[in-house]
Structure 1
Amino acid sequence: MKGILLLTAFVHIYFQTSDAYLIVRGPQKPIVAGDMVTLECFDSNSTANMSQVHFERSSKFSEGWYRLESDRYYRGHYFCSWRYFEINLEDDHLFLTTYGIQSYMEGLYRCVSDEDLPGADNASAPLAITVHYMYDLSFTRGGLGGYYNRFLDALQDLRVPLGSDVEVNCSASASETPEYFWQKEGSDWILPSKTLTLRKVTPADEGTYTCTAKHPSVASLSKSRSFTLTILPEDACWYESTDGRIALAAGAAGMVLLVLVVSMTAFLCRKAKHRQTKGPIDDRSQTKPIYKGSAESLASTTGDNQPLV
Structure 2
Amino acid sequence: MSVYKKDPTESRWEGKSERALDTTPAYARLTISGPQTPVLEGEDVTLECLSDGDSDMANYTFEKYSTWMRTWVRLDSSRYVRCWYFSVNISRNDERLLMHISDISEWQNGPYRCVKTDNQTGQDEASDALRIDVIYLQNIYLQKLHSWYPSVSDILWVEEGSTVEVKCAASSSQEPYYSWSQEFSDWILPSDTLVLKNVNEGSEGKYICQARHPNMYSLVKTSYFQLRVMKKSPEQVRAFASGLSFGDILLYIGIPGVMLTVLVFTLFSILIRYRKQQMRKPQISLVDDEKRAPIYKGSLQSVCSTASDTQPLVM
Which residue in 1 is equivalent to 2:16?
A: none
Which residue in 1 is equivalent to 2:13?
A: none
Which residue in 2 is equivalent to 1:53?
A: 60
Which residue in 2 is equivalent to 1:293?
A: none
Residue from 131, 141, 144 that aligns with 2:144: 141
Residue from 189, 204, 207 that aligns with 1:206: 204
Q: Spell out the pairing of 1:15-30 with structure 2 (5 A cutoff).
A: 21-25=28-32, 27-28=34-35, 29-30=37-38
Q: How far off is 1:227 after superposition?
A: 1.1
Opposite residue 228 of structure 1, the aligned amino acid is Q
SS in 2 for 1:148: coil
Which residue in 1 is equivalent to 2:255?
A: 253
Which residue in 2 is equivalent to 1:5?
A: none
SS in 2 for 1:250: helix
Opposite residue 65 of structure 2, the aligned amino acid is S
Identity between Structure 1 and Structure 2 (%): 33
Which residue in 2 is equivalent to 1:96?
A: 99
Change (3 A) 1:183 1:216: same
Q: How far off is 1:250 after superposition?
A: 2.9
Say whether the 8 Å CA contact 2:26–2:127 is kept in structure 1.
Answer: no
**Do structure 1's residue 186 and structure 2's residue 184 form an aligned pair?**
yes
Say whether the 8 Å CA contact 1:41–1:111 is kept in structure 2.
Answer: yes
Change (3 A) 1:66 1:232: closer
Which residue in 1 is equivalent to 2:167?
A: 169
Change (3 A) 1:260 1:34: farther
SS in 1 for 2:150: helix
Opposite residue 133 of structure 2, the aligned amino acid is T
Opposite residue 200 of structure 1, the aligned amino acid is N
Change (3 A) 1:235 1:264: closer
Cα RMSD over matched residues? 4.0
Change (3 A) 1:20 1:137: closer
Change (3 A) 1:240 1:193: farther
The number of residues matched between the two structures is 245
Q: How far off is 1:269 after superposition?
A: 10
Opposite residue 250 of structure 1, the aligned amino acid is Y
Change (3 A) 1:167 1:266: closer
Mind listing any 5+ residue stretches in structure 1 that lack a counterpart? 1-16, 73-78, 274-309
Which residue in 2 is equivalent to 1:69?
A: 76
**Do structure 1's residue 36 and structure 2's residue 44 form an aligned pair?**
yes
Larger relative contact order (CA 8 Å, sep ≥ 6): 1
SS in 2 for 1:50: coil
Change (3 A) 1:237 1:26: farther
Distance 1:102 1:48 in 2: 32
Distance 2:264 2:84 in 1: 50
Q: How far off is 1:53 after superposition?
A: 0.6
**Do structure 1's residue 85 and structure 2's residue 88 form an aligned pair?**
yes
**Deviation per residue, 1:235-273 (Å, 9 max, x gap):** 568856979975984343222244357569979999xx9
SS in 2 for 1:24: strand
**Do structure 1's residue 132 and structure 2's residue 126 form an aligned pair?**
no
Distance 1:22 1:71 in 2: 24
Which residue in 1 is equivalent to 2:111?
A: 108
**Deviation per residue, 1:255-306 (Å, 9 max, x gap):** 2244357569979999xx9xxxxxxxxxxxxxxxxxxxxxxxxxxxxxxxxx
Distance 1:232 1:267 in 2: 41
Opposite residue 22 of structure 1, the aligned amino acid is R
Say whether the 8 Å CA contact 2:66–2:73 is kept in structure 1.
Answer: no
TM-score, normalised on structure 1?
0.64
Change (3 A) 1:267 1:38: farther
Opposite residue 149 of structure 2, the aligned amino acid is Y
Change (3 A) 1:269 1:41: farther
Residue from 206, 212, 215 that aligns with 2:213: 215
Q: Spell out the pairing of 1:273-288 with structure 2 (5 A cutoff).
A: none
Residue from 213, 223, 226 that aligns with 2:224: 226
Q: How far off is 1:25 after superposition?
A: 1.4
Distance 2:265 2:259 in 1: 10
Mind listing any 5+ residue stretches in structure 2 that lack a counterpart? 1-23, 276-315
Distance 1:19 1:54 in 2: 14
Distance 2:82 2:204 in 1: 55
